[in-house]
A and B are shown apart, each in its own frame.
Chain A
Amino acid sequence: MNNAFKYLSLVSFLLLASQAPYLQAQEAAAQQDEIPQEDEIPADEVESNEATQAPSSSDMSTTVPAYPELLPVFRQFGEEAGLVKLMDVFMDKLLADSRMRPFFENADQARVKKHLVEQFCVILGGPCKYSGRDMKSSHTALGIDRANFNALVEDLQWAMNKQGIPFRAQNKLLAKLAPMHREIETK
């Protein structure tokens, strides 16, 4: 009797709380109209750190693990075209974020976006090839700490929310990206 009551109450709480995502979705939809659609950032304005060191082609494809089981998530991201749009929003957000701007304002943004699309695509089991450098060598010079890493995750979450990517799908991707902190953080 007592236990039944407890579980009943739990269920009713879950039901109550399940309305939350709808509120969130409405909020997101309301914000959707407010995003300034900035022009595409000129591709080759600034040479990035990345470009100064030519990637050696031998270790490329081995650096990004693929998870074919995440193919349904890849579809939820809108496949490659969806990832391209996501990176446009993401990069705009990174440049608008005072914590992140220093890391990206002087980079070849088009190139970074291209590599991110390829990387996410490969991780999510999509039919792409990653042409960028491995995570460690492309980040060592940047002096990234945990706060920086988390700030980037926040901006990515923001961009994914803006693109209407379901929270579950976001977390499936983030769970694969988060362990990369070991290669990315140097402080």
Chain B
Amino acid sequence: MSVKEIKRKALCLLLISLASNANAADQEDNDYDNGGKLLLTGGVTQLEGAAGGGLTPWAVIGGYGTDDEIGANAFYTRVNTGAYHLDDAGVMIGIYNRVELSFAQQRFNTEQVGGLLGLGDGFAFQQNVIGVKVRVAGDLVVNSDSWMPQISVGVQHKKNNQPAVLAFVGAKDDSGTDYYVTATKLFLADGLLINGTLRFTKANQIGILGFGGDKNDSYKPQLEISAAYLLNQKWAVGAEYRMKPDNLGIAREDNWFDAFVAYAPNKHVSFTVAYADLGNIVIKDNQRGVYASVQVGF
């Protein structure tokens, strides 16, 4: 497809320009006016557009702005799982290290599976997510002498563009809202970051397959945990686990897992590569593959 090719070429160009830009900034190492937060302490961008790990939101407010600064960034994420792929892009603004507003658009492509299900090869679900996160207590970095984490609460409102198909698979709704509370603690002396997020959601496969279902149509708390280890100022490795509800009788839904490497050469750009295990998705088991994400900050 020509549109696909164009997109791919555009992405290549973007990556190349970012990489060269990153090198230039790296050599200078004197990037003084791009926000007061320390490198990587704004996290990266998770699937639904919030600052966090790759799969789960963290209590951090995105961007490098501190109390009197505004930071913004944009991200693109691609996940290839074998039978499917996901393109995910969005923007986020962090205001005064207090409020984070985000928008993300996910395009989940069913590739050959779409054909097998009678939807047509390459059938795609598209979902828009609007997110708000507010930091309610704590500070990630500076309270290294106490156990107090940074705590935030957030909302993610999601709208899927395939109501007819969603109704057919048994989903009760094509839109839904997730509510979460998240706590992040950086053990600075050990370079270890731990996050726990409790999400109340009805979403099937984060909303790609709609909200609620024949098996269950009520909010269920789901735990999401992340651990990241800072190798130095620019590199971090970690793993995440995200529990998910199982609302649809038509197909089992599994919890998600990933292991990631994140690299932030400077405050303008970060790259995350992960191995993700997304379990069963509709008729395909063991959906595992590569998660790659790039984030640019302004």
> Chain A interface (Cβ within 8 Å of chain B)?
2, 5-6, 9-10, 13-14, 16-18, 20-21, 24, 31, 96-99, 145-151, 153-154, 157-158, 161, 167-168, 171-172, 174-176, 178-179, 181
List 5 A-B pairs, minimum CB-CB distance, nearest first: A147-B36, A175-B189, A175-B144, A175-B188, A17-B237
Among the listed B32, B66, B233, B275, which residue makes an inter-chain contact with A13, where contact means beta carbons less than 8 Å apart?
A: B275
A186 to chain B, nearest CB (A): 12
CB of B107 within 8 A of chain A?
Answer: no
Docked-complex contact A6 and B68, CB < 8 angstroms: no
Main secondary structure of the interface of B (DSSP, over half): loop
**B231–A6 touching, CB < 8 Å:** no
Residues of A within 8 A of B259 (CB): 6, 9-10, 13
**Contact (Cβ within 8 A) A18 B231:** yes
**Minimum CB distance partner of A25 in chain B:** B232
CA distance A181 to B143 in the complex (A): 9
Q: Which residue of B lies closest to A24 (CB)?
A: B232
The answer to whether B58 has its CB under 8 Å from any CB of chain A is no
Please measure, in the bound complex, the distance between the C-alpha atom of A96 and the C-alpha atom of B32, giving whole angstroms: 11
Q: Given A154-B38, A168-B191, A179 and B142 touching (CB < 8 A)?
A: yes
A154 to B34, CA, bound (A): 13
Cα A181 to Cα B189 with chains together (Å): 16
Residues of chain B within 8 A (CB-CB) of A147 are: 35-36, 66-69
Cβ distance B142 to chain A, nearest Cβ, rounded Å: 5
Q: Give 14 A-B contacts (CB < 8 Å), ordered by A residue.
A: A13-B261, A13-B275, A20-B234, A20-B235, A145-B66, A146-B67, A147-B35, A147-B36, A150-B141, A174-B189, A175-B188, A178-B143, A178-B145, A179-B142
Instruction: Please determine whether B66 and A171 come into contact, CB atoms closer than 8 angstroms.
Output: no
Q: Across the interface, which residues of B come within 8 angstroms of A14, CB to CB?
A: 237
State the CA gap A5–B142 with chains docked (Å). 37
Partner of A97, one of B32, B37, B257, B263: B32
A17 touches B36 (CB 8 A): no
A178 to B143, CA, bound (A): 7
Q: B184-219 toward A: CB 8 Å interface, digit per residue (1/0)? A: 000011110000000000000000000000000000
